[in-house]
Amino acid sequence: MPDWVEPVARYMLDVGLRNTLRTAAISVVLATSIGVVLGTLITIRFWLSRALIRGYIEIWRGLPIIVTLFIVHFGLPALSPKLEFDVFTSGIITLTLWGSAQIAEATRGAVQSIPREQHEASAALGFGWVGRHRYVIFPQALRRLIPPLVGLIVGIILNTTLIQVIGGSELLETAEQSIERLGSPPPVGLLDPHAFEILGAVAVVFFLICFPLTRLAAYLERRLVA
Amino acid sequence: MLAVTYDLGAYLSEHWEFLLRGFARTIYVSAIAIAGSFVIGLLLGAARAHRIPVLSQLAAVYVEVIRNTPILVQIFFLYFALPEWPGIRLDVFTVAWLSVMLWGGAFNTENFRAGFEAVPQRLREGALALGFSRIATFLNVTLPIGGRIALPSSINTYIAVVKNTALLYVIAYEEFYTSAYQVNALELATWETITVLGVVYLTLVWSLSALIRFAEGRLALPEAF
């Protein structure tokens, strides 16, 4: 293997991949929690909460994610200096807004697919609204929710690359930095950016993470929904 | 601070021409990419659904590679990696429409494959029994019925294609988002920029979503299927 490979690979895996996975993990947890709660609350027949959650879903699902990132990273600090975040926090907020909107819509569909009799039966057993959803409705809705959820997790992982746009050193940014460095004249670089190998490697890493998850989503879809 | 400096009227009267040019590029690139991804989806979707040897497997690889890698990596790859190997240097505009088209084509292949596979086998057998050739069966039975089934999900893909054009910012193709970003970089009129970006993209995306509901109502298959 050529000499340049080892330090570049070490940097991309130690710094880039680590940041990508950490950002994705935090965003997935936050987006899932918020999305599941909002998607359950929107099934309550009260116009104000419905309108607010519907607005949240349609806006953050409708905007290109890079526009949401612009709002979070440049718009919020213009409102108040207290709302200025580092690049990874901005990225996590952005991915959480997008992901929770997607998951809320999926949750709404799953919760509403549970027949009314289940609500009535659990109410007859003495469950309140929270207990009914916690112990009866949601566990059943989960079967329908999990396949699209796995798909959305893949979406969040792929979209962490957006943080590259604002300079956060996730996997794609560390790749770009390495390409720029290798392309510069010696002694810093080799005057050969090796963009093909490096970007190819980034694609391979994402593929190795996401392809099994995509297959899992398809498998769960057949197993759980049918 | 915001209340003092926010002036959408002045912002628009000064920059509307520049922003409109960016918007026109967004529409232009989207139109090319949508048309291209329609053709790709139709052809490869048919190859997948009918299990045409070699082509079907190649289409499967194409679909999985595009779906499981970030579109930003795909854009960078076309722009920075292809000139190294195999030595193809594409200009910014070509990378712009090609990258979003290849992305949409992969998702559309899946949409059309699912649509064609949902056409009941008995309808195809009926056409073959009437003496239609395989191609005529596809054109007269599978395409009109499966195409309708695939329509809502393919419009969803076109919506995503339009949104993805904003990512062409990374290769400095001056579509709408890039234009708005550049105005903001000069003027620091952040919330005027956000207002314009939000209104334009949400109007585009919500109108296309309304089109899905309209198409679903108009083109729904009769109950008998």
Indicate the pLDDT class of residue B122, thresholds 50, 70 and 90. Answer: very high
Indicate the pLDDT class of residue A150, thresholds 50, 70 and 90. Answer: very high
**Does the pLDDT of residue B208 top 90, yes or no?**
yes
Select the residue of A58, A70, A196 nearest B85 (Cβ to Cβ). Answer: A196
According to the model, what pLDDT value does residue B167 have?
A: 98
A13-to-A5, A80, B13, B102 alpha-carbon distances in Å: 12, 36, 48, 28
**Exposed (0-12), middle (13-18) or buried (19+): which is A147, by Cβ within 10 Å?**
buried
Residue B114: both structure tokens together = 């699912």
Mean pLDDT of B102-130: 96
Q: Which domain holds residue A206?
A: 5-225
According to the model, what pLDDT value does residue B224 have?
A: 54
User: B70 vs A161: CB contact, 8 Å cut-off?
Assistant: yes
pLDDT digits (tens, 9 = 90+) for A2-30: 899 999 999 999 999 999 999 999 999 99
According to the model, what pLDDT value does residue B215 have?
A: 84
CATH label of the domain that carries residue A147: 1.10.3720.10
Nearest-neighbour CA in chain A from B132: distance (Å): 34
The rounded mean pLDDT for chain B is 94
According to the model, what pLDDT value does residue B225 have?
A: 53
According to the model, what pLDDT value does residue B123 have?
A: 94
**Does the pLDDT of residue A138 top 50, yes or no?**
yes
According to the model, what pLDDT value does residue B217 have?
A: 81
According to the model, what pLDDT value does residue B218 have?
A: 81
Select the residue of B68, B198, B205 nearest A214 (Cβ to Cβ). Answer: B68
According to the model, what pLDDT value does residue B222 have?
A: 66
Alpha-carbon span B82 to B200, nearest angstrom: 33
Mean pLDDT of B65-73: 98
**Interface probe, candidates A66, A157, A205, chain B, greatest B C-beta count within 10 A:** A66
Select the residue of B64, B71, B197 nearest A67 (Cβ to Cβ). Answer: B197
Write down the ipTM of this complex.
0.94
Give B24 or B212, the one with higher predicted confidence. Answer: B24
Alpha-carbon span B169 to B177, nearest angstrom: 7
Structure pTM? 0.94
**Does the pLDDT of residue A172 top 50, yes or no?**
yes
Inter-residue contact B41 to B103 (CB < 8 Å): no
Work out how many domains chain A is built from and give that number.
Answer: 1
pLDDT digits (tens, 9 = 90+) for A192-207: 899 999 999 999 999 9
**Cα atoms in the Cβ-side hemisphere of radius 13 Å centred on B100:** 31
According to the model, what pLDDT value does residue B108 have?
A: 97
The number of helices, as runs of H, and strands, as runs of E, in chain B is: 10, 0
Mean pLDDT of B196-222: 89
By C-alpha distance, the chain B residue nearest A200 is B77
Length of chain A (residues): 226
According to the model, what pLDDT value does residue B4 have?
A: 61
**Cα atoms in the Cβ-side hemisphere of radius 13 Å centred on A196:** 9
Alpha-carbon span B114 to A219, nearest angstrom: 16
According to the model, what pLDDT value does residue B223 have?
A: 60
**Exposed (0-12), middle (13-18) or buried (19+): which is B211, by Cβ within 10 Å?**
middle
The rounded mean pLDDT for chain A is 95
User: B73 vs A203: CB contact, 8 Å cut-off?
Assistant: yes
Mean pLDDT of B11-19: 96
Query: Which chain A residues have a beta carbon less than 8 Å from that of B206?
Result: 58, 62
Mean pLDDT of B36-59: 97
According to the model, what pLDDT value does residue A102 have?
A: 96
pLDDT digits (tens, 9 = 90+) for B161-206: 999 999 999 999 999 999 999 999 998 899 999 999 999 999 999 9
Give B146 or B218, the one with higher predicted confidence. Answer: B146
**Inter-helix orientation angle B190-219/B143-164, to 10°:** 180
Select the residue of B2, B81, B164 nearest A195 (Cβ to Cβ). Answer: B81
**Domains annotated on chain B, with CATH:** 2-219 (1.10.3720.10)
According to the model, what pLDDT value does residue B1 have?
A: 47
Inter-residue contact B181 to A165 (CB < 8 Å): no
Mean pLDDT of B139-152: 94
Indicate the pLDDT class of residue B213, thresholds 50, 70 and 90. Answer: confident
Amino acid at A131: G
- As a whole-number percent, the residues of chain B with pLDDT over 90 amount to 88
DSSP string, B109-158: HHHHHHHHHTS-HHHHHHHHHTT--HHHHIIIIIHHHHHHHHHHHHHHHH
